[in-house]
Amino acid sequence: MSIATRIDNGILTLTFDRLDRKNAITAAMYQTLADALRSAETDPAVRVIVIEGKPEIFTAGNDLEDFMKRPPTSGEGGAPAPVFQFLYAISEASKPVVASVSGAAVGIGTTLLLHCDLVYASETAKLTLPFTQLGLCPEAASSLLLPRLVGYQRAAEKLLLGEPFSAREAFEIGLVTKVLPLPELDAHVQAQAAKLAALPASSLRETKRLMKGGDAAAVKRQMAEEASVFGRMLVAPEAKEAFTAFFEKRKPDFSKFQ
């Protein structure tokens, strides 16, 4: 399964648990995450959701081999692909979502943070949005939310160049709530989650709704547009070159594409 789940004292913890593959996310893992988030909406035992990786790495993003075998197109009956089910579920979560990030957070490992309410990162965290390097476009409404959060030029640097940036920089631009030494990260996240779990659930839901409600429709529209463009670009020559180069362990050559 590679997603470990547990509920303790009102806290649902979802853990990327595939360290041998750098916590790379498969379609099955996305489905597990989506199902868990949807179930949490109506489960009175869940008051707060924590998403975490391992001390060594948060997630390397999509498992590219699985991604190519199971591209994110509509499933049976036109249902969204598991990755999009997960993104809609996390963006629409009414209960507080807390992220605990250490090590690399690649692609969706960074964009999912835009939908979390609190994001705590260790000093070892390194965030990356390498969509253009793969011949693709952003997802998770990051093309809307990141410029709103950090300003257009800072967002452009992250999304156009796709270069890694540190937890400290992520904190400075407002993407991360607090940066901690790695040995302190888990205890701090659990303590903050416990504080949330002890508060009135209805107050948390309504406060979150009021803060995010005005953006809900725009986020959903942006996700749909990104998904459409993403699907088109996924079968374009640039993406094919990027993925081929990845598997051949060489640098891609985009010079022949306009």
What is the pLDDT at residue 150?
Answer: 97
In this prediction, residue 145 carries a pLDDT of: 98
Chain segment 33-83, per-residue pLDDT in tens = 999 999 999 999 999 999 999 999 999 999 988 888 888 865 555 678 999
For residue 180, what pLDDT is reported? 98
Q: How confident is the model at residue 101 (pLDDT cuts 50, 70, 90)?
A: very high
- Residue 179 scores a pLDDT above 80: yes
- Can you give the pLDDT at residue 215? 86
Give pLDDT tens digits for 181-206: 999 999 999 999 999 999 999 999 99
Taking every pair of Cα atoms in the chain, the longest distance, rounded to a whole number of angstroms, is 58
The pLDDT of residue 1 is above 80: no
Higher model confidence: residue 67 or residue 172?
A: 172
Q: Which domain holds residue 88?
A: 3-182
Asked if the structure places residue 137 within a domain, the reply is yes
How many independent structural domains does the chain possess? 1
Q: Is residue 196 part of a domain?
A: no
Residue 187 lies in a domain: no
The answer to whether residue 237 is domain-embedded is: no
Q: Is residue 92 part of a domain?
A: yes
* In-domain check, residue 215: no
Residue 135 lies inside a defined structural domain of this protein: yes
- Per-residue pLDDT band for 248 (boundaries 50, 70, 90) equals very high
Residue 130 lies in a domain: yes
Reading the block at residue 106, the tokens are 């690649």
* The pLDDT of residue 140 is above 70: yes
Domain CATH number, residue 45: 3.90.226.10
What mean pLDDT value characterizes the chain?
A: 95
CA atoms within a 13 Å half-sphere pointing along the CA-CB vector of 167: 21
Structure confidence at residue 70 (pLDDT) = 82
